[in-house]
Amino acid sequence: MNAPASSLSTAETLRSALAGLLDGLPARQATQAVERLIATYRGATPTGAPILRDRADVAAYAAYRMPATFEAVRSALEAFADAVPGWAPGDHTDIGGGTGAAAWAVNATWGGERPVTVLDWAEPALALGRELAAANPALRGTRWHRSRIGSALTLESTDLVTVSYVLNELTAADRAALVDAAAAAARSVVIVEPGTPDGYARVIEARDRLVSAGFHIAAPCPHSAACPIVPGADWCHFSARVSRSSLHRQVKGGSLAYEDEKFGYVAATRDPVTPAPARVVRKPQIRKGQVLLDLCEKDPALGRTTVTKRHGDLYRAARDTDWGDPWPPLPGA
Ligand SMILES: C[S@@+](CC[C@H](N)C(=O)[O-])C[C@H]1O[C@@H](n2cnc3c(N)ncnc32)[C@H](O)[C@@H]1O
């Protein structure tokens, strides 16, 4: 999935806002804050109280995780935007938005200013989100509200709700309450989860609820029928490339300039939608004179197609096609 030109500047603005975050914090202390955070997230979630408790927690989260969650949400939104050409959200609510990665990703995808509301129960995350957003003129008017996800959650009606990397922190009852509240309030809902088998199961659970509520699936699926993946046999996920900051290199070692964030997602809308005819669901295998593409197709079915040199332009397009892209490529892509 190729980033639109305008998104580069949003991504760069975010990167430079994040770079200043750990200034003045000794390298060892920054590393320890990230390690504590990673250990907490490996522990049992959901929790009864916020994991992000203070400024050091949220600074570590933002510096270490926000570039990756931003890129994952941006990839999901680009696929969604492809399925609703000409549409842009008039306003946006991000639930469990933390430091605001999805607000940045919406701005990277559709540009311009719109009313944005970020809801989270962790006050230090909202405070840091507001601080970071000051670097982006389109996000300066964002409303940062403390709100607990649960059966009492009420949302104002909005064009777009995003929920990114949040479902895994909720009980089954709160996950259901959140998706139902989003479906009642929004015309479009985009949910992003880690690209793991458990993340996939939560995405499918949410997808089923959205379809039952009358939504059409815009991406990644080419249809709104049941997912053809046999539960337990495989899981649908994608990959977004993330440049590594010096903090990443410090914590993880090695000298790679990037890493790949694996994520799963569903984008659904009540509006008319043109989903991709098929989507590439694994990294394409490029062999001599042929490209093997694993596709999720409209039927609905999973299948493999082999594109050879004899296919001419289509072969050249297949060589440029990436995991997560529509197939065949959209006109002009
Ligand atoms: C992994 S972070 C993701 C943050 C952000 N959406 C992103 O993609 O970077 C999970 C967020 O969900 C919030 N959260 C978890 N449980 C919540 C609840 N019950 N009510 C409100 N927010 C919650 C956390 O405070 C945290 O900011």
Query: Residue 159: its pLDDT value, please?
Result: 98
Query: Residue 51: its pLDDT value, please?
Result: 79
Q: Given pLDDT bands bounded at 50, 70 and 90, which one contains residue 44?
A: low
Distance 120 CA to ligand 1 centre (A): 6
Percentage with pLDDT > 90 across the chain = 74
* Protein residue whose Cα sits closest to atom 8 of ligand 1: 164
Q: How far apart are CA 284 and CA 229, in angstroms?
A: 19
- Which 3 state secondary structure label does DSSP give 218? strand
Q: Are strands 92-95 and 116-120 parallel, antiparallel or unpaired?
A: parallel
Neighbour count for residue 299 (Cβ, 10 Å): 12
Query: Residue 3: its pLDDT value, please?
Result: 42
Distance 303 CA to ligand 1 centre (A): 36
Distance 102 CA to ligand 1 centre (A): 12
Query: Residue 1: its pLDDT value, please?
Result: 46
Query: Residue 132: its pLDDT value, please?
Result: 96
Locate 306 and state its tokens. 């082999």
Residue 94 has pLDDT above 70, yes or no: yes
Q: What is the pTM of this model?
A: 0.94
Lowest-confidence region among 17-31, 258-272, 279-293, 302-316: 17-31
**Mean pLDDT in residue range 206-230:** 97
Residue 255 has pLDDT above 80, yes or no: no
Least Cα distance to 315 among 291, 297, 284 occurs for 291
What angle (nearest 5°) sits at the alpha carbon of residue 214, between those of residues 208 and 216?
75
Query: Residue 2: its pLDDT value, please?
Result: 41
Average predicted confidence (pLDDT) for the chain: 91
- CB of residue 165 inside a 6 A radius of ligand 1: yes
- CB of residue 101 inside a 6 A radius of ligand 1: yes
Could you identify the residue written with the tokens 């995780």?
65
Count of residues making up the chain:
333
* Protein residue whose Cα sits closest to atom 6 of ligand 1: 97
Q: Given pLDDT bands bounded at 50, 70 and 90, which one contains residue 8?
A: low
Query: Residue 142: its pLDDT value, please?
Result: 98
Distance 162 CA to ligand 1 centre (A): 12
Distances (CA, A) of 122 to 58, 176, 292: 9, 21, 45
105-127 pLDDT, tens per residue?
A: 999 999 999 999 999 999 999 99
Cβ(100)–Cβ(94) under 8 Å? Answer: yes
Distance 242 CA to ligand 1 centre (A): 21
266-284 pLDDT, tens per residue?
A: 999 999 999 999 999 999 9
Query: Residue 54: its pLDDT value, please?
Result: 81
State the closest ligand 1 atom to the C-alpha of 148, by its place in the atom list counted from 1. Answer: 20
- CB of residue 169 inside a 6 A radius of ligand 1: yes
Q: Given pLDDT bands bounded at 50, 70 and 90, which one contains residue 5?
A: very low
Q: Given pLDDT bands bounded at 50, 70 and 90, which one contains residue 19?
A: confident
Query: Residue 35: its pLDDT value, please?
Result: 84
Query: Residue 53: its pLDDT value, please?
Result: 79
- CB of residue 221 inside a 6 A radius of ligand 1: no
State the closest ligand 1 atom to the C-alpha of 94, by its place in the atom list counted from 1. Answer: 6
State the closest ligand 1 atom to the C-alpha of 122, by its place in the atom list counted from 1. Answer: 25
Query: Residue 4: its pLDDT value, please?
Result: 44
- CB of residue 316 inside a 6 A radius of ligand 1: no
Lowest-confidence region among 99-103, 149-153, 216-220: 149-153
Locate 3 and state its tokens. 């980033």
The residue type at 134: A
DSSP result, 138-185: GGTT-EEEE---STT-----EEEEEEES-GGGS-HHHHHHHHHHHHHH
Residue 50 has pLDDT above 60, yes or no: yes
Distance 103 CA to ligand 1 centre (A): 14
- CB of residue 304 inside a 6 A radius of ligand 1: no
